Structure formats: C-alpha cells, structure tokens
C-alpha cells in the first residue's frame, strides 16, 4: 500500500530525514516512536506532501511521487487524495457543527451532492460514537469528542491510508482512551495507518510494526514485542528506558 524509498527532507541546512525506506502492506498499522525532534512529524507530513521531500520516492496504492524533480500540481493533488491526516490540534471549523465539519471535504473538494455527503457524515459520526453530538459546534464538545470529529472528517475523504500525527497529545489524560479506541477499531477493520504517538500502550496493543526513529533515520523496526521487549539497538534501549 505504501512504498517509500530513500526519502530525504531538509529545511535549509538542517537535514531532518536522512534516507527513509519503508513498505507498509494493506491493512497494516505502523506506529512511529522516537525522541522529540527525530523527524517523526516531518516524515508523516512528507507522506501527504504537506512538506515537500527533498529527494526520494513515495508510492501509495500505486500512485507514485518522485521528488527528484518538481511535481506538477495536478499530480500532487491526486497523490494527496490517497491519504488523510489527523492532526494533534484538530483544527475544526469553529462556525460549523460537527456534521458540517465532516461534510465540508466531500462537498467542497470532492463535489459530492450535499444529501449524500450528509448521509455519509452521519454514518461516520455514528461510527466514532458521536451520533448525539452531530449538531453541536466544536466549542460545545470536549477535546476527545473534537478529535473524534477530526477522525470522521479524515475518513469522509475515503483515504486508502490514514496518517495520525500525535492525535492524543493535546488531550487531557482522561480523554485519550476514547480517541485511541476509535483508532483501534479502525485498525481492526483493516485500515492501513501510520501513527506517530507517545502512547506506548497503543503501540503495544495495536501496531503490526513499530518503527523507532532517531536523528532522521529508522534506527530499528519490528513487532511491538521485538521493539519493547527485545530491543537490539542501544539508542532504542535508552529511549525506552527514559519513557517506561
Ligand atoms: P518530531 O516529530 O520527531 O518531534 P519533527 O519532524 O517535528 O520531529 O522535527 C524534526 C526537526 O525538524 C526539528 O529539529 C525541527 O525543529 C525541524 N523542523 C520541523 N519543521 C520545520 C520547519 N517547517 N522549518 C524548519 N525546521 C523544521
């Protein structure tokens, strides 16, 4: 589903991604962990071309982006449609209800008929447990509920891959579980996902594969058991010691 080859990203003189290679199979949940500043968010943003990589290639479901040359805008737009991102700060439109927030992408980007978009949005909000809150505005919702709207909004675009960038780090601790639960259900349903998170329990319980990133590289990768119980690399061991 995702094939990444020799992906590089620099900001000016700062090389943040130093050659990432990764293949993700359809239906896999990959969790990316690592110290702050190691390039996890940048990596995720490159997969949706929210950041333009400096070099390398990314293919999602056969849609290829080769960053060794400038990409035509149309190709970028087409490539972006393959995935959808859930952000740390949910960035909902404050003047729209939960339902309208979820309908917005399908109606304005995909030009889907409003009635159809509404039916789909209702279905998705029900799926994330917010049937009763559809007509509320973001300020009337808790952070956990807002993030679940954020997930429904991303799903409304019918992506083949979901990208989660620290989706629970802005939440009060008691609200983290409800968001992780929705993500876990998505993984169990077979959604292909790449998740940057500090939630190690989620990584242990849900990930098919865990990547440990440090200083712009994937230092170690494996099953949750391999990474958490039998880490091989010194840097992985040090990181796990600090957080566990
Ligand atoms: P992580 O998600 O692992 O904390 P990031 O991908 O956010 O790491 O950041 C990696 C490095 O890239 C950091 O040194 C950060 O300051 C730098 N960086 C991220 N985004 C930008 C940007 N837009 N411009 C310049 N430097 C950036």
Secondary structure of 44-77 in the HEC alphabet? HHHHCCCCCCCEEEEEECCEEEECCCCCCHHHHH
| Ligand 1 centroid distance, CA of 73 (Å) | 25
Element at 123 (helix H, strand E): helix 114-127
How far apart (Å, rounded) are the C-alpha atoms in residues 242 and 33? 13
pLDDT over 90 percentage in the chain = 97
For 142, phi then psi, to 5°, come to: -70, 165
- 244 has pLDDT over 80: no
Q: Give me the mean pLDDT over the 165-188 stretch.
A: 96
Report ipTM for this prediction.
Answer: 0.97
**CA distances from residue 241 to 35, 38, 191, 229 in whole angstroms, order as listed:** 12, 17, 31, 11
β-pairing verdict for 14-24 and 2-11: antiparallel
Residues 36-59 have a mean pLDDT of 97
The pLDDT of residue 85 is above 80: yes
pLDDT at residue 112 greater than cutoff 90: yes
The residues spanned by each domain of the chain are 89-157
Report whether residue 39 contacts ligand 1, using a CB cutoff of 6 Å. yes
Confidence of residue 90 (pLDDT cuts 50, 70, 90): confident
Nearest to 136, CA basis, from 128, 145, 144: 145
The pLDDT confidence band at residue 181, using thresholds 50, 70 and 90, is: very high
Sign of the Cα torsion 42, 47, 51, 56 reads positive
Residue nearest to atom 22 of ligand 1 (CA): 11
Task: Tell me if 45 CB under 6 Å of ligand 1.
Answer: no
Say how many Å lie between the CA of residue 14 and the centre of ligand 1.
9
Say yes or no: CB of residue 216 within 6 Å of ligand 1: no
CA distance 169 to 153: 19
pLDDT at 243: 86
Q: Residue holding tokens 């409800």?
A: 178
Q: Which two tokens stand for residue 89?
A: 């700060």
CA 15 to ligand 1 centroid distance, Å: 10
Q: What is the average pLDDT across 65-83?
A: 94
pLDDT at 206: 96
Confidence check: pLDDT of 79 > 90: yes
Residue of 16, 198, 216 to test ligand 1 pocket, by largest number of atoms within 8 Å of CB: 16
CB atoms inside a 10 Å sphere around CB 72 = 9
**pLDDT exceeds 90 at position 137:** yes
In this prediction the pTM is: 0.96
Is residue 151 within 8 Å of 126, Cβ to Cβ?
Answer: no
For residue 218, the CA-to-ligand 1 centroid distance in Å is 16
141-172 pLDDT, tens per residue?
A: 999 999 999 999 999 999 999 999 999 999 99
Atom of ligand 1 nearest to the CA of 213: 3
Q: Provide the mean pLDDT of the chain.
A: 96
3-state DSSP assignment of residue 137: coil
Q: Is 101 in the pocket of ligand 1 (CB under 6 A)?
A: no
């Amino acid at each position: 589903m995702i094939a990444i080859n020799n992906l590089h990203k620099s900001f000016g003189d700062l090389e943040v991604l130093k050659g990432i290679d990764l293949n993700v199979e359809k239906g896999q949940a990959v969790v990316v962990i690592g110290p702050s500043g190691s390039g996890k968010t940048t990596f995720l943003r490159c997969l949706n071309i929210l950041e333009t990589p400096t070099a390398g290639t990314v293919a999602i479901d056969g849609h290829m982006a080769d960053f060794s040359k400038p990409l035509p805008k149309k190709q970028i737009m087409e490539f972006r449609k393959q995935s959808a991102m859930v952000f740390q700060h949910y960035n909902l439109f404050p003047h729209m209800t939960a339902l309208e927030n979820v309908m917005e992408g399908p109606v304005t980007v995909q030009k889907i008929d409003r009635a159809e978009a509404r039916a789909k949005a209702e279905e998705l909000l029900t799926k994330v447990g917010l049937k009763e809150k559809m007509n509320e505005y973001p300020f009337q919702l808790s952070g956990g509920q807002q993030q679940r709207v954020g997930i429904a909004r991303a799903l409304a675009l019918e992506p083949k891959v979901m990208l989660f960038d620290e989706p629970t780090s802005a939440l009060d601790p008691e609200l983290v579980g409800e968001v992780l639960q929705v993500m876990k259900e998505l993984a169990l349903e077979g959604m292909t996902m790449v998740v940057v998170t500090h939630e190690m329990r989620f990584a242990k319980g849900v990930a098919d594969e865990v990547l440990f990133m440090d200083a712009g590289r994937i230092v170690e990768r494996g099953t949750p058991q391999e990474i958490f119980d039998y880490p091989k690399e010194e840097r992985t061991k040090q990181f796990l010691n600090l957080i566990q």
